[in-house]
Chain A
Amino acid sequence: MNKISQFQGTLIPLDRSNIDTDAILPKQYLKMLDKTGYGDFLFDDERYLDPGDSETPLQTRRKNQNFILNIPPYNRGTILVSKKNFGCGSSREHAVWAIRDFGIRVIIAESFGEIFFNNCIKNGVAPIILGKEQVASLINFANKKPDAQVSINLTEGILSFDGTHITFSLHPSHRKSLSEGLDEIEETLAIGDKIRAYECSRLQSEPWVFVDF
Chain B
Amino acid sequence: MSSKTLYDKLWNSHCIDETHLYIDRHLLHEVTSPQAFSGLQMHSRPVWNKDSCLAVPDHAVPTRNRNLGTAGIVDPVAKKQVERLSENCLKHDIKLIDLTDNQQGIVHVVGPELGFTLPGTTIVCGDSHTSTHGAFATLAMGIGSSNVEHVLATQTLKTTKLKTMAVRFTGTPTEAITPKDLILKLISTIGTAGATGYALEYMGHAITNLSMEGRMTICNMSIEAGATAGIIGYDATTESYLMGIPRVRELPELNRALEYWRTLRSDENAQFDKEIEINLDSLESQVTWGTSPETSVTLDTPIPKAQCSNNTDSSSELERSLEYMGLYGGQTLRDLKIDSVFVGSCTNARIEDLRIVAEIVQGRTISPNLLYALVVPGSGSVRRQAEKEGLDLILQQAGFEWRSPGCSMCLGMNDDNLPEGSRCASTSNRNFEGRQGKKVRTHLLSPRLAAYSALAGKLTDKYE
Mark A residues whose CB is within 8 Å of B.
15-18, 20, 22-23, 26-28, 30-35, 45, 51, 53-55, 83-85, 88-94, 96, 111-115, 118-119, 122-123, 171, 173, 183-185, 188-189, 191-192, 194-195, 198-199, 202, 206-213
Contact pattern, B 125-147, Cβ under 8 Å of A = 1, otherwise 0: 01110000000000000111111
Contact of A88 among B95, B118, B158, B193 (CB under 8 A): B193
Q: Which residues of A contact B420 (CB under 8 A)?
A: 51
| Shortest Cβ distance from A198 into B: residue | B16
Q: Does B313 contact A (CB under 8 A)?
A: yes
A-B contact pairs, 18 of them (CB 8 A): A18-B292, A22-B435, A27-B411, A30-B31, A111-B193, A114-B228, A115-B144, A118-B144, A122-B144, A122-B146, A184-B146, A184-B158, A191-B17, A191-B20, A208-B254, A209-B120, A211-B51, A213-B52
Total A-B contacts with CB atoms under 8 angstroms apart: 190
Partner of B54, one of A94, A119, A213: A213
Q: Is the CB of B54 within 8 A of A195?
A: no
The answer to whether B413 touches A213 (Cβ under 8 A) is no
Binds A, one of B77-85, B266-274, B300-308, B396-404: B77-85
Q: Are B126 and A113 in contact (CB under 8 A)?
A: no
Closest CB-CB distance, B417 to chain A, in whole Å? 10
**Min C-beta distance of A37 to chain B, whole Å:** 11
Chain B interfacial positions (CB closer than 8 Å to A): 16-17, 19-20, 22, 24, 31-32, 34-35, 38-39, 43, 45, 48, 51-54, 59-60, 75, 77-78, 80-81, 84, 95, 116, 118, 120-121, 126-128, 142-147, 149-150, 153-156, 158-160, 192-193, 196-197, 223, 226, 228, 251-254, 256-257, 260, 292, 313-314, 316-317, 320, 411-413, 420, 430, 432-435, 438
A185 in contact with B149 given A31-B78, A85-B193 (CB within 8 Å): yes
A23 and B317 CA atoms in complex are apart in Å by 15
Residues of B within 8 A of A210 (CB): 51
B193 contact set on A, CB distance < 8 A:
18, 84-85, 88, 111, 113
What are the residues of chain A within 8 A of B254 when measuring CB–CB? 208
Provide the bound-state CA to CA distance between A202 and B15, in Å.
12
Assess whether A195 is in contact with B60, with CB atoms less than 8 Å apart.
Answer: no
A192 neighbours in B (Cβ, 8 Å): 154
With A195-B156, A209-B118, A213-B54 known to touch, is A93 a contact of B146 (CB < 8 Å)? yes
- Chain B residue at minimal CB-CB distance from A83: B313
> Are A22 and B153 in contact (CB-based, < 8 A)?
no
Task: Tell me, in angstroms, the Cα distance from A32 to B32 when the chains sit together.
Answer: 10
Interchain CB contact under 8 A, B226 and A118: no
Instruction: Report which residue of B35, B251, B430 has the largest number of chain A beta carbons within 10 angstroms of its beta carbon.
Output: B35
Given the interface pairs A54-B77, A91-B127, the reply to whether A22 lies near B144 with Cβ below 8 Å is no
Name the CB-closest residue of A to B257.
Answer: A208
A45 touches B142 (CB 8 A): no
Q: Which residues of chain B come closer than 8 Å to A115, judged between CB atoms? A: 128, 142-144, 223, 228
Question: Which one of A93, A185, A202, A212 lies within 8 Å of B145 (CB-CB)?
Answer: A93
From A17, A55, A185, contact of B43 by CB (8 A): A185
A9 to chain B, nearest CB (A): 24
Contacts of A202 in B (CB 8 A): 22
How far apart sit A206 and B75, CA to CA, in the bound complex (Å)? Answer: 44
A183 to chain B, nearest CB (A): 8
A114 and B196 in contact, given A30-B59, A31-B60, A88-B226 (Cβ under 8 angstroms): yes
Complex Cα distance A184/B159, Å? 12
B75 touches A31 (CB 8 A): yes
A31-B413, A34-B35, A113-B196 are known; give 12 further A-B pairs, CB within 8 A: A17-B313, A22-B411, A22-B433, A31-B31, A33-B80, A51-B420, A84-B193, A85-B196, A114-B196, A114-B228, A173-B160, A185-B150
Cβ B77 vs Cβ A55 within 8 A: yes
The answer to whether A45 and B433 touch across the interface, beta carbons within 8 angstroms, is yes
For B118, give its contact among A20, A118, A188, A208 (CB under 8 Å): A208
Please, which residue of chain B has its CB at the minimum distance from the CB of A90?
B128
